[in-house]
Amino acid sequence: MANSQPLSAADWSLGQSIDLDRYPLHDLDGVGGRALIARCREALHDDGCCHLEGFLTEAAVARSAAMAEALAPQAFRNTTRHNVYITPDDPSLPAEHPARHFQTRSQGFICADLIPADSDIVRLYESEAVTAFLSACLEIAPIYPSADPVACMPISVQRTGEVFPWHFDGNEFTITIALQGAEGGGLFEYVPNLRSPEDENYDGVRRVLDGERGLVRQLDLRAGDLQIFLGRYSLHRVTAVEGATTRFIAAPAWIRVPNYVNTVERSIDGYGRATELHYRRSAQSHDGLRE
């Protein structure tokens, strides 16, 4: 795997990275493409989560995992504590409020500006066919690639014992692509549609934080799998990784609004640095929910 060579811009094509027999992104108007979109929409409507197994080709997985292994020493690694909204403590709130429930997170991120431009992940991110497919599945048009220079397509790096606790995403939806699974643990757990722009549902969030498992669903992502997830409204986490194999998950970001970047605080907390562009970003949330 370590000897895999990156693809050049000239020889890259969609079929070298994506299993087009199972996922015909090159023909979304065809029978297979329409059926795929319908299946993804149904999953998102019913569950807030669409899981496409083996989305990447085996060769693309091998190249991408090798790339992630090579870049992993440069990942920003941090252990911190945050609430589900990833916001500062607010002593004016009652002690039992979920915004005052802090958990330990341990994780690394390979920042987007470290990923080679000729990699499968970057080519996929820049593909108009991929953007069109995701837009159709989400029933949101248009969608735009993130303008965040460090967080537009980072790769999550989780080693044994590391965990990403319960949280909501800043974006309405997220796309993740598994590049390498853990030997054990590293399970994705989520509670679909726990809040909405009209209702934060603090009581429901509190019950999950207190250990109630009735609404929790679980997904074991494997190398090559793609996930479309409505993480702005669904509480979710990744359980502790077990074993010596590092868990690598790429997270290319598309959003509703153009030129979106993270807040300074979230960029520094998650990626270790903020750029001038982050400091210019408005502090006002785009939908009114807690960040």
User: Residue 287's pLDDT band (boundaries 50, 70, 90)?
Assistant: low
pLDDT score at 13:
81
Residue 138: inside a domain, yes or no? no
Residue 139 forms part of a structural domain: no
Question: What CATH number should be reported for the domain holding residue 248?
Answer: 2.60.120.10
- Domains in the chain, number: 1
pLDDT of residue 291: 52
Is 217 part of any domain? yes
Residue 248 lies in a domain: yes
Q: Which domain holds residue 59?
A: 49-115+146-280
Alpha carbons 4 and 59: distance in angstroms, whole number: 9
pLDDT band at 260 (very low <50, low <70, confident <90, very high): confident
Q: Determine the Cα–Cα distance for residues 186 and 159; give it in Å rounded to an integer.
A: 9
pLDDT at 229: 97
Q: Which of 56-70, 148-162, 178-192, 250-264 has the lowest mean pLDDT?
A: 250-264
% of the chain at pLDDT higher than 70: 92
Asked whether residue 56 is domain-assigned, the answer is yes
For residues 164 and 158, the answer to whether their CB atoms sit within 8 Å is: yes
- 234 contacts 49 by C-beta, under 8 angstroms: yes
Let me know if residue 196 belongs to a domain.
yes
Question: Is 106 inside a domain boundary?
Answer: yes
pLDDT score recorded for residue 61: 98
278 class by beta-carbon count within 10 Å (0-12 exposed, 13-18 middle, 19+ buried): buried
Residue 32 confidence class, pLDDT cut points 50, 70, 90: very high
| Whether residue 239 has pLDDT greater than 70 | yes
pLDDT class for 289, splitting at 50, 70, 90? low
Classify residue 86: in a domain, yes or no.
yes
- The DSSP bridge partners found for residue 42 are none
131-180 residue pLDDT tens: 999 999 999 999 999 989 999 999 999 999 999 999 999 888 999 999 99
Q: Please give the model's pTM, rounded to 2 decimal places.
A: 0.88
Q: What mean pLDDT comes out for the span 218-235?
A: 96
CA atoms in the 13 A half-sphere facing the CB of 200:
14
pLDDT band at 263 (very low <50, low <70, confident <90, very high): confident
